[in-house]
Structure 1
Amino acid sequence: MSDVSDWWRTAIIDMEPGRISLRGRPVQELIGTTGFAPMIWLMVTGDEISGPRADLFEAALVAAVDHGPQAPSIAAARMAATCGVGLQSAMATGLNMLGDVHGGAGEQAVELYSAVDAAGFDRLGETLDAWRAAQGRYLPGFGHRFHKPVDPRAPRLLALVRDAARQGAVSGRFAQIASAIESHLAAERGKPVPMNIDGATAVIYAELGCPAPLARGFFGLSRSVGILAHAWEQRQQGGRNKGPTPPAYRWTYDGT
């Protein structure tokens, strides 16, 4: 009955015994002919991606896979891996740490770039001031507490965007916007304020036409690789019920 079949509606997959079709493509035609990054794009957006655009997408996914055990998502997954749960549960623990502060800057940066694009370069300072008045003093995608004066991932990603723009694969205007913001911040503060991984990958996602929420989703997908790697490494290393600090260290008690 249609009231049952229409309970879930999807354009992603069609399936019956002996047949699987993904976005209208038989799965056997995709296996061995389609890379994982283009497959992700096809599944999520319904469109095919190839050439320099596919290379950009893959570069963004590669660049954000990991940032070490000090990253909350990675630390949480490693701790979970010592608590007797399986790898998938450890991964879920890490992924659930991704939120507006840790993991959300890519989405916010796409929104910022879009605001600058809509207002125009001649109103850059005004647009940034309005953003900070509404969102707070930090501009998403710029500055890094660890990588100073440059996040090594950002220049490489921006160079790839510019190469793709020269080939006509993307417009290049969001790379220009991000660089203009970086220059504006440096002049404003009198010191470099490096574009970080969130700002650089947001450039790619904006150039590819991704809605801002997808930038966050793709970051989570990318970071899940690092989460899996760290959870598996921790399983190999062993350990039981590891907390955030060694047992000899104690917390500060400030109660009565």
Structure 2
Amino acid sequence: MSAPDAATMTHEEIGAWWATAVTRIAPGEIDLRGYPVQDVIGRLGFVEVVWLLLRGDLPEPAQARMLEAALVAGVDHGPQAPSIAAARMAATCGVGLNSAVATGVNLLGDVHGGAGQQCLALLERMGERRAAGEDTGDVARSVVAEYRERGAYVPGFGHRFHPRDPRRDPLLAMVSEGVRAGAVDPGPLESALALEEALAQRRTRPVPMNIDGATAVVYASLGFAPELARGLFVLSRSVGILAHAWEESRGRSRIKGPLPRQVLATYTGPATRPLPDGD
């Protein structure tokens, strides 16, 4: 059966092209998941609206506090972070602020910015094994053994800069509080702590959770999908990217590269040589 001709389509058929349950728009009307925007403004916080748009309902106060804590924790990690550095470099090249921010955000991929999603997916797989009757500690040890055999890092654990990520403890404390109050599922926290313990075995230094692991525990406890863990991290880190891009755009430097002009990248190619004589 061929597709209908656009000239013969009804308004309902055309409107169904971008059908959405998120927002209803009409002249003089904006509803967010059914709530008139004029009622939302001033009554709901930004984090509550994030939850509303992503989940379709309003969060409980404890859920909103946990989500806000995770978003706050990931806002920035200084200009040495590639996404921040790229945004600052872009800001010195005469592009608009939106382009500078987009430059930084576009660096948040599987390696830089994706560990939270990967960790949450791992916690979900561990949860499935726990539900099937396996012991949490046994599951964690087998996961660590599998990653070590592949020579891979367990996503969400260890940090190249911090011996112990200062964002870990307050986030996990909030999850623990939520578990005690019966507000969130205890499984993700138990699995993550078991992984941390398994990683520390036969090592002189522990491998504690980093920001990606801690926020993955928060998002998993709140029932967010792994893909949204990355989306929420992008939303959070965009604040820091914006702040750094704005600060750099206020300076007088132009076309700042990754190294100061006085420092040249190490050259590893052939020594200077003449072209061979041609016939």
Shorter chain as denominator, the TM-score bin is over 0.9
Are 2:241 and 1:227 aligned? yes
Identify the match of residue 167 of structure 1 among 142, 157, 181.
Answer: 181
RMSD: 1.4
Cα shift at 1:131: 4.8
> Matches of 1:111 and 1:17 in 2, distance apart?
42
Task: Read off the aligned partner of 1:233 and give its amino acid letter.
Answer: E
Contact kept in structure 2, 1:74 and 1:227, CA below 8 Å: yes
1:97 matched to which residue of 2?
Answer: 107
Contact kept in structure 1, 2:90 and 2:103, CA below 8 Å: yes
> What stretches of structure 1 move > 2 A for 4+ residues in a row?
127-134, 252-256
- Partner of 1:99, secondary structure, is coil
- Partner of 2:17, secondary structure, is coil
- Partner of 1:237, secondary structure, is coil
Identify the match of residue 139 of structure 2 among 123, 142, 147.
Answer: 123
Are 2:128 and 1:113 aligned? no
Task: Read off the aligned partner of 1:182 and give its amino acid letter.
Answer: E
Contact kept in structure 1, 2:144 and 2:198, CA below 8 Å: no
Which has the larger displacement, 122-131 or 161-170? 122-131
Contact kept in structure 2, 1:105 and 1:199, CA below 8 Å: yes
Count residues with an aligned counterpart: 254
Cα shift at 1:207: 0.1
> Matches of 1:255 and 1:123 in 2, distance apart?
48
- Partner of 1:14, secondary structure, is strand
Superposed, which structure 2 residues align to 1:148-163 within 5 Å? 148=163, 150-163=164-177
Task: Read off the aligned partner of 1:145 and give its amino acid letter.
Answer: R
Task: Read off the aligned partner of 2:162 and give its amino acid letter.
Answer: H
Task: Read off the aligned partner of 2:159 and give its amino acid letter.
Answer: H
2:218 matched to which residue of 1?
Answer: 204
Identify the match of residue 229 of structure 2 among 205, 215, 218.
Answer: 215
Contact kept in structure 1, 2:185 and 2:222, CA below 8 Å: no
Cα shift at 1:75: 0.3
Task: Read off the aligned partner of 1:64 and give its amino acid letter.
Answer: G
1:38 matched to which residue of 2?
Answer: 48
2:6 matched to which residue of 1?
Answer: none
Task: Read off the aligned partner of 1:53 and give its amino acid letter.
Answer: Q
1:28 matched to which residue of 2?
Answer: 38
Contact kept in structure 2, 1:78 and 1:231, CA below 8 Å: yes
> Matches of 1:8 and 1:114 in 2, distance apart?
31
Structure 2: segments with no counterpart, 5+ residues: 1-9, 131-135, 271-279
Task: Read off the aligned partner of 2:64 and give its amino acid letter.
Answer: A
2:3 matched to which residue of 1?
Answer: none
Deviations 1:164-202 (A, max 9, x none): 111111122211211111111111323211210000000
Identity in percent: 55
Are 2:261 and 1:251 aligned? no
- Partner of 1:189, secondary structure, is coil
* Structure with the greater alpha carbon radius of gyration: 2
